[in-house]
Amino acid sequence: MRCFNYISETMSQDEIIHFQNVKLRETIHWAWAQNGFFRKRYTEAGLLRLHDFCNAGDLIHIPFTNKSDFRDTYPLGMCCVDRHLLREMHMSSGSTGTAVVMAYTSSDIEQWAECMARCYVMAGAAEGNVVQITPSFGLFNGGFGMYHGAQSAGLFVVPAGSGNTERQIKLAKDFGTKILCGVVSYAVRIYEVMTTLGLELPDLKIGIFGAESFSEGMRQRIESQLGIEAFDIYGMTETGGVGTLGMDCVAHNGIHVWEDHYYIEIIDPVTSKNLPDGEQGELVITSLSRQAIPVIRFRTGDLTRVVSREKCDCGRTHTRIAKIAGRTDDMLIIKGVNFFPQQVESALMEIPGVLPQYQIVIEETDGVRDVRINVEADESVTGYMIEKHLKERLGFSPKGDIFKQGELPRQEDGKAKRVIYKINE
C-alpha cells in the first residue's frame, strides 16, 4: 500500500483520538488568544476559563459557527494571525453572492498541499505522473489546491485551467495526461466534446472530481466513458479548500476524512444534537492545524453519515463518511414531498439511454411550487419511462421534457447550475 504520509494515514484510532484531543485544545486556545470574535463567542456561551476545555467531550460547550459568520466578518474578521503572515486567499461567492473568504499562512498552504497530496497518492498517482488541472486558477480554491498538492506529490502539472475543452483534450494527448482533475460536470463535458468532434480518447487512468453533487451512478458513467477510475474528492473554502476533507480510496466505500487535521461531528440539522454513527445528518468540522482562519464547530450544511471507523481494506485508518447526499439548504419540498437534487441525479443515471445532463426547474405560480425535470436522452427513452422511474425512486412523478444531446445549456467554467428557479408572475 502506498501513502503520501504512511504514519499519519495509518495511525490507530486510539492514536488519532489522543492526537485530536491535543490539537483540539491547541486550536480552541489559539482562537481564543488571537481573535476577539472567538473570545466573545466562547464567553457568551459561558466558557469563562480556557482550562474548562480539556478534550473532545467538552466540544458540546463550544458554540457552532456557520457561513454567516464568515460573511458577517468579511473579509478577514476571523483571522487569527498578523496580516503580514498571510500568503494566499481564496473565496467562494455561493448562491447568495456574499463572499466567504479563506486566508492562508505558509503553514496553511503546506497543510492544504499535504491533504491534497495524500488524495493524489491514494488514487494511485506516482512521482512524475502528468496531472491536468481543469478548474480555474483564481479565487475558486479548486485550481490552486490541486496545484499545491501536485507539487508536494511530485507530479508534472499541466495547469490547463477552465474552459476551451478542445484544447484540454489536445493537451491531454500531447502531454500524456494520466490524472484528470476538476468539477464533476466538467468530466461529463470533456467526454461529450470528444465524442461530438470525433476526437480520440486520451490515455487517462485516474479522474479526481468533486465540488458538486456526485451520485454513484454519475461516478460510474464517468468511469466507463473516460476509461478511468474516478474518485470523489471533498473539501470547501472554509476548511481550506479542495482535498482538505479527504476523498474515497480504491475501495470506493466512503470518503476518508483526514482526521489528524479535522475533527468531525454529525448533528441533527434541526435539533443540533450529535447523532450516532450511521445516522445521516449535517457534518460539523473543527480544524486541528489551521492557523490563519481555524474553523470551530463549523456547520458545513452538507449531509452525510459515518460509514465506518474501522481500518479500511486500503489500509488507512481514518474514518470514512458517505458521499455528500445534499445540502441542508438544497432540500426541495414540492407538493409535500421532500427530496434532494442528488436523488434526482441518482434516479436518472439508473435509466439506460439517459445522458448526464439534466435540469431541475422549480416553477412558482401564486406561491405554489411545481417542478419540471428536463433531461437529455437518446431516442430509446420516453417521457413515460422517466416519469415512472422517478415515481418509483422519489415517490412522485414530475413532468419534464426530453432533449437531444447538446440541447440543454452547458457550463465550461465552475459548478453546473442544476436547479433553476422560475417565478411566474
CA neighbor of 111 nearest in space, from 300, 288, 283, 269: 288
Question: At its nearest, how many Å lie between ligand DLL and the CB of residue 232?
Answer: 5
Question: At its nearest, how many Å lie between ligand DLL and the CB of residue 372?
Answer: 24
Beta-bridge partner residues of 17 = none
Question: At its nearest, how many Å lie between ligand DLL and the CB of residue 273?
Answer: 21
Q: Of the two residues 11 and 321, which places its CB atom closer to ligand DLL in the complex?
A: 321
Question: At its nearest, how many Å lie between ligand DLL and the CB of residue 247?
Answer: 8
Question: At its nearest, how many Å lie between ligand DLL and the CB of residue 380?
Answer: 30
Q: Crossing angle, helix 383-394 and helix 341-349, to 10 degrees?
A: 130
Alpha helices in 180-335 (DSSP H): 184-196, 216-226
Q: Of the two residues 47 and 158, which places its CB atom closer to ligand DLL in the complex?
A: 158
User: CA triplet 392, 398, 404: central angle to 5 degrees?
Assistant: 100
Buried (b) or exposed (e) across 48-87, using 16+ Cβ within 10 A? eeeeebeeeeebeebebbbbebbbebeebebbbbeeebbe
Q: Of the two residues 240 and 400, which places its CB atom closer to ligand DLL in the complex?
A: 240
User: CA triplet 416, 417, 421: central angle to 5 degrees?
Assistant: 175
Is residue 369 within 8 A of residue 363, CB to CB? The reply is yes
Q: Of the two residues 142 and 400, which places its CB atom closer to ligand DLL in the complex?
A: 142
Q: Of the two residues 183 and 402, which places its CB atom closer to ligand DLL in the complex?
A: 183
Q: Of the two residues 119 and 402, which places its CB atom closer to ligand DLL in the complex?
A: 119
Task: Give the other-Cβ count within 10 Å of 108's Cβ.
Answer: 26
Question: At its nearest, how many Å lie between ligand DLL and the CB of residue 399?
Answer: 27
Q: In the complex, which residues of this chain contact ligand DLL (CB under 6 A)?
A: 92, 135, 141-142, 183, 210-214, 232-237, 241-242, 300, 302, 324, 327
Residue nearest ligand DLL, Cβ-based: 210
Question: At its nearest, how many Å lie between ligand DLL and the CB of residue 115?
Answer: 11
Q: Of the two residues 143 and 400, which places its CB atom closer to ligand DLL in the complex?
A: 143
Burial class (CB in 10 A: 0-12, 13-18, 19+), 406: exposed
Alpha helices in 207-361 (DSSP H): 216-226, 341-349
Cell (9 digits) for 13: 484510532
